Amino acid sequence: HESADAMTAKRLLVVACALGVLEALCVHQAGLSQRGGRLGATVEKTETKAPVWNDHTPITGDTPETLVRGVEGDESMRRKMEAMLREGQLRITKAIEELDGGATFSSDAWTRANGGGGISMVLKDGNVFEKAGCSLSVVYGEMPQEALRAATERGVDRAAGMKPGEKVPFFACGLSSVMHPRNPMAPTMHFNYRYFETDGGVWWFGGGTDITPAYLFEEDMKHFHGTLKAACDKHDPAFYPKFKKWADEYFYIKHRGETRGLGGIFFDDLNDRDPDDCFAFATDALAAVVPAYVPIVAKRCNSDFTPEQRAWQQMRRGRYVEFNLVYDRGTVFGLKTGGRIESILMSLPETARWEYDHHPLPGSPEATILDLFQHPKDSWVDDEE
């Protein structure tokens, strides 16, 4: 999936249908930081081999304690980030299993010859969730310049000074998740938290959490955004308004003139302070996922709904597919850096719907939330909250 300019949305949706709306999960959005911070010790440059899509080796026994190369120290940020994300993966999947009360997550782990690997956990056909995925990736590789440009808004600037065709050795570690409930009144949720580093020691953090409802319940949105704001405010009062606006801008479907959902927080290139402070913020933001989201689904998962409301949910899922296949930088980055296809494309729902030239009835609940997709609200949280 190159870009909106290189391939139309229509062609990409045909590809999605031909693939049977593949299981998917967004991987790290990343890129080289022009202003990137540097770790205290320079990372020794190592020979890397660019990964390809089929060079993964399944782990048949116990998953290794770490997927980071043995040359990394236990206190390195690479090891710390992986450990934090693995703990978060287990905590979040446990909470989702308890809420679902039926299905459990299967675990699929793998390694790669040049180092790294991943753990994908997927729940399907649950009582509450039609599909839920949570995938950890640890990646060593060489990033082509086109992946650099696709992965970030500032990709062109970051590639300045590089020779044509030159690739950049990198390390990336991230945890990505998408939850698709059955009930149209319960919203879809996505999060991704990641750490990126080049062999030269340039580093940054990125990520965010966002929500995609089919129907509006203002108290749910206030709870979701309020929980994320509290996590942000612990570290910097400027974070929430900045990252909320960034989410609205990033999760925007240009060819539809609307956002994918009702936002949350999104950030990239976080390296303007001590790396341990950035790590602490990423830790707290990930810890906010369960309290921000699970109570909403618990409240809505048994709500009554009509076939027409289910159809509207399916159409909104169609918008979700469009964004991920046309605009998501993480999907493009994963495909261009030889990522594992099942993990890259696990965020897509199992079912979705497209209706020709559909317009909701004026004054209907569907029209109300569509207006918010087209005109994002400045804030869901009062200043005093």
Residues with a known catalytic role: 190
Count Cβ neighbours within 10 Å for each residue of 265-289 and write b for 16 or more, e otherwise. bbbbbbbeeebeebbebbbebbbbb
Task: Show the tokens assigned to 282.
Answer: 């990423």
CA distances in angstroms from 367 to 44, 170, 308, 358, 364, listed in the order given: 56, 45, 14, 11, 5
Residue tagged 């399907």 (tokens): 124
The answer to whether 209 touches 61, Cβ cutoff 8 Å, is: no
Residue tagged 């080049």 (tokens): 198
The separation between CA 299 and the C-alpha centre of its own chain, rounded to angstroms, equals 24
Task: Show the tokens assigned to 221.
Answer: 């949105």
What is the DSSP-derived secondary structure letter of residue 198?
Answer: E
Task: Please count the other Cβ atoms lying within 10 Å of the Cβ belonging to residue 156.
Answer: 12
DSSP bridge partners of 179: 132, 189
* Closest residue by Cα to residue 152 from 138, 137, 134, 172: 172
CA distances in angstroms from 273 to 1, 72, 259, 278, 280, listed in the order given: 34, 23, 31, 7, 11
